Amino acid sequence: MGHKLSKITLAMLSATSLSFATSTLAQEAQEEAEKDVEVIQVSGIRASLASALNEKRFTNNLVEVIEAEDIGKLPDQNLAEVLENITGIQITREAGVGTGVQIRGTDANRTEINGVSTVGSGTGRSGIDFEDVSAAIIAGLEVTKSPDAKTIEGSVGGTINLKTIRPLQLTERLTSIRVQGENSSLSTDSGFQPRLSATYGDNWENDYGKFGVVVSGSYSEQDVSAFRPRTDRDNLVASDSGVASAQSFDFLPIQFFVQDYDNYEYETKNFVGTFEWQPNDNTKFFFDAVINDQERLQESSRVQASGVSALNDISIPDEFETVNFGSLGGTDLGSIQAALSGVIPVNLDNDDDDPNLRLSTDTNSRVTESQIFRLGGEWQGEKWFVSAEVASSSSDTTTPSFNTTLNFINPNAPLDAGGGNDNSVPFQYDLSGGSLAFGIASGAEYAPTVEQLLDPYNVVLRDVNIGRDTTENSEDAIRFDFSYYVDSMITSVDFGYRYNKSTSKRDDVSTSVGLRSMEDSPRGDLFADLLVAGPNNFNEADGRELYVRDFLIINPELVASDPDGVLSTLQQALDEHGSSATLNAPTSSSSGFFDIEEETHALYAQANFEYEMFRGNFGVRYLQTDVTSVGNSITVDDAGNELVSQVTNTGDYDFILPRINIVADVTDDVVVRFGAGKDIRRPDFDDLSTSVTFSTSPNPNVAIGNPGLTPEEVISYDIAAEWYFAEASVLSIGYFHKTRKDLFVDQIVSAFEDPVTGYRDLTDPCEGGGVFNPIADINVFGPDLGTGVCVGTETKINDTGETTQKGIEIAVQYDLAGFEKELGWASGFGVLANYTIQEFSGGEAVNTATSRAGNVFAATTGVDDIEVTAIQGLLNLSENAYNFTLYYEKFGLSARMRYTWREAYRSDDFGSTSSFPWGFPVVQEDRGQLNASINYDINEDLNIGLEAVNITESEVEQSCVNEGALLCFQGLTDRRITLGANYRF
């Protein structure tokens, strides 16, 4: 065919085969691998797949590999979506963009770049956010599923290592420029957002040795949108209640509506620089720098039908549907009717200010600067290999937010007689056909007109919440690694030491003002310059006819560009209105501060062996960690003044982590692997904190830290067989088993609500459960306006029971390139497919139904005072998942189509609140997604391409209580199209 391996593939192959850190035996194996790959004279997709397959084949532990088909051309634009190609990996998305990665059903994984630990923008342990790193600067990645003693501790599912180009392995100068534009189908901004990347690499030799340098940079903008409607039906109208809406059967009325429009604008800058110097054949020095700058601006809006629950007693649905709750925690929860369509009218005799129309603007941005530096050297002797390096990873994040809420004052209805700044608006809803649709009942009594909805005079300011939280994370490390080569069954012995100091510091900086009366709330005509019509395209995702399309919000773009000016204008409106409220700049909250530091010493020893058809390694890793946690204790003196004192907690722990990997080359084309080992997972930093952060909303649970958390322990077993049945092809099957002890689980305590009134306790302490939130809006949870209400709590604890994860992974890769004579043009096809089935069992920590849900379950089961509980299980774990990729590469044409499907799973992503209306995580239903790309080589240097993500605009559906039970949340995501060209010099 006359094609050759791409530069990037040659670089990666050479890097793996010539690495000083590899034993003599492994080097010989890699040389054989390189010979095999050289026979496969292909480029692009085939080259990357063949290279990755050979690297996987000759490793001594279970590793999955993906390599770029050319410079900056991994299979997907987003690194999380790149990882989705690997067997046993599923991802979660935010507004359609891949953000979270689950390896074998767990988020508890590690991310490295060139073997260096990374730190994230939040307080988690999984490392850098995948949305912060452009795939354009990554040459390949590997996922270690079965660690050896060298592997740094901290992962339950696997360790992800992102690899950049090594300059000394280049065979010729490398120069490339890539220009692309991306368009979102749901964004209100027209046009294509730019994606630019460039790479330069070269090496040279003089009297001082061999030198090499690679510089890569990328700049991208992205605009993504998702529409997320939500409906709560978590209350009860009993048949014997005697209220006007009562039917001959019990039913679930409408409690709440949300029309959530999420829009995120990303600006990402990435830089990678590598310098290598090899003064002689035995010695090499290197320096790596990775710098990322991420700005994510949220310009979202929310339309709420609030106070709907106040009309439960008089609002009669037009239609009902039967909801089967299924079984939970061994209890058959039965069935019940639920409101499906109808009108929620204005009834002034029942309530003069409900239901009401509430309009919010959310501008929760994230600005993150992360840096990774690595400096080290290697020396290869006849019997010894020595390496040393120092590394530093840091991430500084600020989350500026300026969120506002307006109340619509319906001019056709009287003002609230109590002076409240909301009044009644009729709503219509239709939840049939799986669409959570609601809108203003335009034909009902008191319904406002379009002109009235868009009149600034008819909105008043309700809430202003401003924040500027900061998070500073870092990890500094030094490590020494040694290898001694032996001419026996034990081919080499590796040992080493690593020290690292990890820190996480958070400062909660915020201010909030809640206005609840017309006396305090200025009308919109006093700040009309800030108002714009909200997005009116909520129907574009699914063609719905019923939605709120005409409303005013405070301009999110203006808030983002000039927050001080917006603040000044709002304060001027307050003053002109005669309000006593003052909008202050955000200040630090003593209760939300923490500063945590960890120091770890780790030692390892590992023997590598080969005997006849067997090869592998066995060894042990020992670690010792000291933890210091600093937080604030808040008390109040007799005069009501806040007293702040600093509290320091210390602790330490140590672990011994044995690990073994055995590989049997049963025949020339069959490989069998076995791995076993122990690892730990440290708790997230905020879960260790003693600090508390309150919200002005009464819905979210208050997160309370637990400094007594201990690391989770996991013991893993792997067995796999791989059959390399044809050129660049494989069929593999594997089984994994993980036993987890001290699993981190949520302990949620819901605030008690009176079954008749729906009111909560308004005084501290909260005797019915939860914690008193002094700044939360009472809203519908009390008889009067004001702040201060009991809310739920959420605390991480160690599960006292042992848990088990196990599963089977099946993968096939088949390339038809060897059949060119027989198939002609059709020999350009190839397929990749994988399937994972897994399950989770054990554990003792449970979720418990809320008091309101308990009333519903008492009606469906006929058991008074029933307490429904269920083992928590793992969030984001799908029992079944598969990928199927069909590709074609011939005559300069390169095309790929991938369909990804995952089964339903439990999730805590429930819209704009972190609480669960029923007391249990929602179930995200089965979902598949189709992506495709096509590229064409104009000539040897110029390539043009088209990529499409989520071609069918697959939507997200979430059900409350159980899979397929009560539809309560949707995510209507966009289709993203990318056009571009790549030029290689």
Kindly tell me if the per-residue pLDDT of 462 is higher than 60. Answer: yes
Q: What is the pLDDT of residues 249-281, one digit of tens each?
A: 999 999 999 999 999 999 999 999 999 999 999
How far is the C-alpha of 322 from the C-alpha of 340, rounded, in Å?
9
Closest residue by Cα to residue 260 from 401, 358, 131, 365: 358
Q: Which residues contact 59 (CB under 8 A, 6 or more apart)?
A: none
What lies within 8 Å, CB to CB, of 361 at 6+ separation is 300, 301, 403, 404, 405, 553, 554, 555, 556, 559
Q: Burial code of 581-591, b = ≥16 C-beta within 10 A, e = fewer?
A: bebeebeebbb
- Cα distances (Å, whole numbers) of residue 519 to 143, 306, 460, 723, 777: 60, 21, 11, 77, 17
Q: What 8-state DSSP symbol labels residue 29? A: H
Q: Which helix (H) or strand (E) holds 14?
A: helix 7-18
Q: How confident is the model at residue 2 (pLDDT cuts 50, 70, 90)?
A: very low
411: confidence class by pLDDT, cuts 50, 70, 90:
very high
Contact (Cβ atoms closer than 8 angstroms) between residue 694 and residue 776: yes
**Contact predicate 385/379, CB 8 Å:** yes
- Identify the top-confidence range among 212-221, 774-783, 791-800: 212-221
Average pLDDT over residues 934-943: 94
Tell me how far the alpha carbon of residue 822 is from its chain's centroid. Answer: 46
Distance CA 222, CA 267 (A): 7
Q: What is the pLDDT of residue 635?
A: 62
The Cα–Cα gap between 632 and 649 comes to 11
pLDDT in tens, 835-883: 999 999 999 989 999 888 999 999 999 999 899 999 988 889 999 999 9
Separation of alpha carbons 790 and 757, rounded Å: 15
Q: Do β-strands 251-252 and 335-344 pair in parallel, antiparallel, or remain unpaired?
A: parallel
Residues 6+ apart with CB under 8 A from 486: 492, 493
Q: Quick one: pLDDT at residue 748?
A: 81
Largest CA distance in the chain: 97
CA nearest 408: which of 457, 374, 368? 457
- Least confident range from 60-64, 498-502, 783-787, 940-944: namely 783-787
Class of residue 29 by CB neighbours under 10 A (exposed 0-12, middle 13-18, buried 19+): buried
Q: Is 450 helix (H, G, I), strand (E, B) or coil?
A: helix
Q: What is the per-residue pLDDT for 425?
A: 98
The whole-number pLDDT of residue 41 equals 34
What region does 525 belong to: left with phi over 0, alpha with psi -120 to 50, or beta?
alpha
Indicate the pairing of strand 922-924 with strand 905-907. Answer: antiparallel
Q: What is the pLDDT of residues 727-747, one digit of tens each?
A: 889 999 999 999 999 999 888
Q: What pLDDT score does 333 carry?
A: 97
| Greater model confidence, 175 or 787 | 175
Answer yes or no: is pLDDT of 32 > 60: no
Q: What is d(CA 402, CA 298) in angstroms, rounded to the nearest whole number?
A: 10
Alpha carbon of 531 to those of 23, 107, 326, 907: distances in Å? 67, 41, 46, 35
Structure confidence at residue 33 (pLDDT): 37
Write out pLDDT tens, residues 104-113.
Answer: 999 999 999 9
Average pLDDT over residues 375-388: 97
Q: Which of 454, 412, 452, 447 is nearest to 428 (CA)?
A: 447
Q: Please provide the distance, in angstroms rounded to a whole number, between the alpha carbons at the two ends of the chain.
A: 23
- In this structure, how many other beta carbons lie within 10 angstroms of the beta carbon of residue 332? 12
Q: Look at residue 202 and tell me whether its pLDDT is greater than 60.
A: yes
Cα angle 16-20-24, degrees, rounded to a multiple of 5: 85
Residue 292's alpha-carbon distances to 205, 396, 573, 808, in angstroms, are 31, 11, 40, 37
Residue 19 has pLDDT above 60, yes or no: no
At a CB cut-off of 8 Å and minimum separation 6, what does 232 contact? 254, 255, 256, 257, 917, 968
Q: Residue 73 — very low, low, confident or very high, per pLDDT cuts 50/70/90?
A: confident
Average pLDDT, rounded, for the chain: 90
What average pLDDT does range 236-245 have in this prediction?
Answer: 95
What percent of the chain has pLDDT above 90? 72
C-beta separation of 188 from 538 below 8 A: no
pLDDT for position 190:
66
Q: What is the pLDDT of residues 513-562, one digit of tens each?
A: 989 999 999 999 999 999 999 999 999 989 999 999 999 999 999 998 89
pLDDT of 778 > 60? The answer is yes
List the single range of 24-33, 399-408, 546-555, 743-752 with lowest mean pLDDT: 24-33
Higher pLDDT, 774 or 977: 977
Distance CA 6, CA 588 (A): 53
How many degrees, rounded to 5, is the angle at CA 469 between CA 467 and CA 473? 165
Distance from chain centroid for Cα 638: 45
The DSSP result for 71-104, as a single string, is TT--SSSBHHHHHTTSTTEEEEEETTEEEEEEET
Please check whether residue 136 is in contact with residue 130, taking contact to mean a CB–CB distance below 8 angstroms.
no
The pTM for the full model equals: 0.90
Distance CA 475, CA 372 (A): 10
Q: What are the angstrom distances between the C-alpha of 314 and each of 270, 358, 767?
A: 58, 22, 31
Confidence bin at 30 (pLDDT 50/70/90): very low
Q: How many CB atoms lie under 10 A from the CB of residue 202?
A: 15
At residue 431, the 3 state secondary structure works out as coil
pLDDT at 763 > cutoff 80: yes
What pLDDT score does 372 carry? 98
